[in-house]
A and B are shown apart, each in its own frame.
Chain A
Amino acid sequence: MELNCRHVWEFLSGYLDDTLDAAVREDVERHLAHCEVCSAILDSTRNILVLTADDRVFELPVGFSDRLHARLNELIGEDPTSPEKT
C-alpha cells in the first residue's frame, strides 16, 4: 500500500517499538526510503528519545539516596508488625 506522510507519522511509534505487522512495516520502510522529511522525523524522534532517557537528564536531589535509606533504617529498626500506618 502506498502510504502518505501522515499515515507514516501515525505508525511512527509502532515502528520504533517494532510492533507493526510485517506488511505495514514494509510499507513504512518503502516510504522512508524516498521521503527525506519522514526519515528526518524518525531519526530525530529516535535521537530525542535516547537523550530523554539518559540518566543525566533527570537528576536526583543531592542526598536523596542517603535520606531515603536513613528513613528506611528507622523503620527497619522498628518492629515491622507495628500497626502504625500513614
Chain B
Amino acid sequence: MSVEADNRTEQELIAAILGGQKHLYHALVRPVEKKIFMVVLAYVHNPSDAEDIVQEAFLDGYRHLATFRGEARFSTWITTIALNKARARMRRSSAHAEVSLDDAGDEDRAPAVSPALLRDWREIPSEALERNEVRTLIRQAVSELPESFRTVFVLRELEELSGEETAAALGISLALVKVRLHRARIQLQKSLAPALRSATEPHRKKRWPSWS
C-alpha cells in the first residue's frame, strides 16, 4: 500500500515543506502513519501509549525535518525516532531490565524452536481475516514473540523495511536481523499453523467451549 496522495518524491516533498509549504507535511505522513503505529504497538502493546508515541514522533519529525539527510527513507527515520521514544517510555514505566538491542540477548542464544510438523497444508485464504477470531489469534501470536524478535519481525514483514534498513533502525547487524527474523517466522508457524488450522477447518469449528 504505497498510494501517495501527492506524487512528488519524498525528497521533493521535504524540500517543499522546508521551503515553506508546511501543510505538505501531512502528505508525507499519511502513507506511513499506519505502519509506524503497528511497529510501535508491537513494541509497547498498549494502543493508547502507541498512539501517543506515534504522534510525538511525527511532531519531532516535523521539528527536525531540516536534519533529515535523506539517506534513509522518511519512514525509517521516523521509525527510529518512535522506537527511541518507546524504549524511553518502557524504561520509565516498568522495572523491565534494560535490554540492549545492540547485542545478542538470551533469546538469541536459546536453542532454535522447531516448526509445527504437518503432513499437508490447506491454504487459508485472506477472507478468513474477516473473522475477528482469526485476527485475534494472529495478533496474539505476534505479541507473544520475544520483544527483540517481534521488533525485527514487524519492521521487516509489516513495515516492509529491507534487512539493511531494519539493521539501521535498530542499530544491530544485518546478520542478527536475519537470525531474529528467521526465528520469529518459525515461532509464528509453530504457534499459528495448528491454531489457524483448527480455527478455519469447517468440520472442526468449535461452537462451544471444548468438552474435553
Residues of A within 8 A of B (CB): 6, 9-10, 12-14, 16, 36-37, 39-41, 43-45, 47-58, 60-61, 64-65, 67-69, 71-72, 75-76, 80, 85-86
The residue among B23, B160, B185 with the most chain A CB atoms within 10 A of its own CB is B185
Are A58 and B128 neighbours in the complex by a CB distance under 8 Å? no
Query: CA separation between A32 and B203, bound complex, in Å?
Result: 29
Chain A residues within an 8 Å CB radius of B55? 67-68, 71
Chain B residues within an 8 Å CB radius of A58? 37-38, 41, 139, 158
Known: A12-B182, A44-B189. A50 touches B58 (CB 8 A): no
Which residue on A lies nearest to B20, using beta carbons? Answer: A80
Chain A residues within an 8 Å CB radius of B23? 76
B110 within 8 A of A: no
Taking residues whose C-beta sits less than 8 angstroms from the other chain, chain B's interface range is 35 or more
State which of B29, B135, B182 has its C-beta within 8 Å of the C-beta of A13: B182
Are B51 and A45 neighbours in the complex by a CB distance under 8 Å? no
Residues of B within 8 A of A (CB): 1, 22-23, 25-26, 29-30, 33-34, 37-38, 41, 47-48, 51, 54-56, 58-60, 62-63, 112, 114-121, 123-124, 126, 128-130, 134-135, 138-139, 142, 157-158, 160, 178, 181-182, 185-186, 188-189, 192-193, 196
Chain A residues within an 8 Å CB radius of B186? 9, 12-13, 45
Query: CA separation between A72 and B134, bound complex, in Å?
Result: 35
Query: CA separation between A45 and B134, bound complex, in Å?
Result: 16
Which residue on B lies nearest to A56, using beta carbons? Answer: B129
The residue among B115, B124, B193 with the most chain A CB atoms within 10 A of its own CB is B115
State which of A36, A45, A86 has its C-beta within 8 Å of the C-beta of B189: A45
> Smallest distance from the beta carbon of B26 to chain A beta carbons, Å?
6
Query: CA separation between A57 and B139, bound complex, in Å?
Result: 7
State which of B25, B114, B126, B129 has its C-beta within 8 Å of the C-beta of A76: B25
Chain B residues within an 8 Å CB radius of A16? 185
Known: A51-B128, A52-B188. A75 touches B118 (CB 8 A): no
Are A86 and B59 neighbours in the complex by a CB distance under 8 Å? yes
